[in-house]
Every structure is written in C-alpha cells, then in structure tokens.
Amino acid sequence: MGFLNETYWLPRDVKWGQMPTDSRDLLYPVYFTIPMLICRVLLETFVGIPIGNLLGYGEGTIISQMTTHFLGGFTAQTRSKRILECFWRFFFYTSAFIYACIIMVHKSWLWEVKDCWVGYPWHTIDVDVWWYYMVELTFYYSLLISSIFDVRRSDFWQLIFHHIVTIGLLSLSYAINFVRVGTLVLFSHDAADILLEGGKLVKYDKTRTKTTNGIFVVFLICWIATRLGYFPFTVIRSAVFEAASLIQPDYDVFNIFQVPYAPRIIVFMLCCLVVLHIFWTIIIGRIVYKTAMDGEASDIRSDSEEGELEDKRRSDRKKVLTKKRPTKQD
C-alpha cells in the first residue's frame, strides 16, 4: 500500500478498517473553511462594529463602517481592521474554550493523561469531541487562508508555520486516533489566547492602561502555566515516556527506523510548537521589560509596523493639511 501502509502509521497488527476514526472526515474542515470565513466577515460587520461603537472604538457612522467593512474593508490594513481581527479571534477562542470546558470536564484523560494511551487505538470518538476537533481544524485552515488579507504582524512567518504545524498535527492525530491527546493540546492553548486577544482589544482604548496591564499579568501567568508548563511537562512528557509502554511495549520512540513512524512525527510537531512558544516567550520577556520601563504593556505578537505607520502617517497628513489650510485674505 506504499505511503498508507498500516505498519508506518498504526500499532502492530492493526488495520485501517479497524480504526474508530475515519480519515475521510478530514475533508469536512476543508469544505467548511470558506463558510467559516464568510461567517467571520458577517460577525465582524454586524456584531463587532456595533459593539466597537458602544465601546468607543468606531470612527464615523455605524452604517458607513459596516458598509465599508462588508464590501472589502475586511482586506484593508487599517486600525479598525486590526480591532475586528482581535474581536473575531477573541470570540472564537472564548467560544471554543467554554465548549471545551463543558465537554472535557467529563473526560477521564483530562484528569489522568495516561488514559490517552490506555486502550489505544480502540477509543471511540464522542460526538461532542468530534465537533470540537473539526471546528478547531476548520478555524486553523481559515487562519491560514485569511493570512493573505489579514494585517501582517511582526511574526508573520512564525504564525504561518504555527498554523501549518497545527493543521498537520490535528489531521495526523485524528487519522491515527490520537484524538484524546489532541484535545488536551487544543484545550491548553485556547486559554492563553483568550487573554491575548482580550488584552489587545482593551489596549486599543488608550485610557484603559491599568486594565490592559492587569490582563497582561494574568495572561503571562496563564501562558507560562499552559504553554511552558502543562504542555511540555505533562502532555509531551506523557507522549514520549508513557505512551509506548501502554500501547506497544517494545516500541522505542527514539529509534527513528522502527515502525510505526507516525507517533514520532506527532511528537516532533508537538516539539515544534514548544519551540514557537519559547520564541514568543522571548517576545513576551521584551514586553515585560518595556512595561516595567514605560508602565504600559505593548501588544503581544504585535501588529505589523506598516499598519501602525499607516495610522501615524494619516494623523501627520491631517496635521499638515490643517497647518497649510489657506486663510481668506481681506
């Protein structure tokens, strides 16, 4: 069977037809990526803009803002676009995390990570977990596509790499039914992202410096606890040192020539995410230093310098025009 040979992917003597997961399900996120992008534009236009106006973020009438955004403004590199991007991600991460809390609290592997491996690969996929996985995978496909027209950030290529690794990790883990550990990865990541996007939204209101700094402190604690603590030292540690003994005792994860190869690929992808977390932690460290010096937290994974400069140039042009406006001569 070549590339799809079971010996490359599955434990010894396990066939694809025996797996509780169906790899054809991975087509659903591809199909639903464009509908999710459409829903995003609609949400930003008809929910985000009115809420933004209530909070004092709007410029101009609500109708003009909604019309502009809906008719192509969602591809612009403007301040309002950056705010709406944050709103969309904040909405999704919050919704996904709340849903995950509701379904995961009843899952044994949330409390005992070894249950990700006990009984593998015969774990059945509950409907609630199936939806959680497919919607999250759709979201990361949509982030990858929307990167074409979203505001470019200073870590653009790292984000692209992150999205690709995440899509690969979720797809492969679903194909070989490592879904339980996949849900732990998703669950542990969304919490910090809520605070990240929420903090950025608040920071756009320059009068809320104390609130921004407070959210930043909570975000920093959550980031360290989940991305640098729980994820590598609980999830990855269990995948490397416990999974093999519970699934196939003679399997050596460090022997790159032993089949199956898929578990090593998943561990490698997990380690890639850790490397990205370390990279972003360095950025956070710089922000902590800048906050200590200036008294105000900067954006995490900041917006592109081009976008910030655009706003500055617009402001400068207004000042110049005001100064050069001719006065009526008597």
In this prediction, residue 71 carries a pLDDT of 94
Question: Is 122 a residue whose pLDDT tops 90?
Answer: yes
Give 292 or 30, the one with higher predicted confidence: 30
In this prediction, residue 91 carries a pLDDT of 97
Average pLDDT for 138-146: 97
pLDDT in tens, 190-248: 999 999 999 999 988 878 888 988 999 999 999 999 999 999 999 999 999 999 999 99
Question: Is 72 a residue whose pLDDT tops 50?
Answer: yes
HSE, side-chain direction, 13 A CA sphere, residue 137:
26
Question: Is 37 a residue whose pLDDT tops 80?
Answer: yes
Average pLDDT for 117-128: 96
Question: Is 3 a residue whose pLDDT tops 90?
Answer: no
In this prediction, residue 329 carries a pLDDT of 47
In this prediction, residue 47 carries a pLDDT of 96
Q: What percent of the chain has pLDDT over 70?
A: 89
pLDDT in tens, 4-22: 899 999 999 999 999 999 9
Give 59 or 91, the one with higher predicted confidence: 91
What would you report as the CA-atom Rg of the chain, rounded to the nearest whole angstrom? 23
pLDDT in tens, 319-329: 555 555 555 44
In this prediction, residue 174 carries a pLDDT of 97
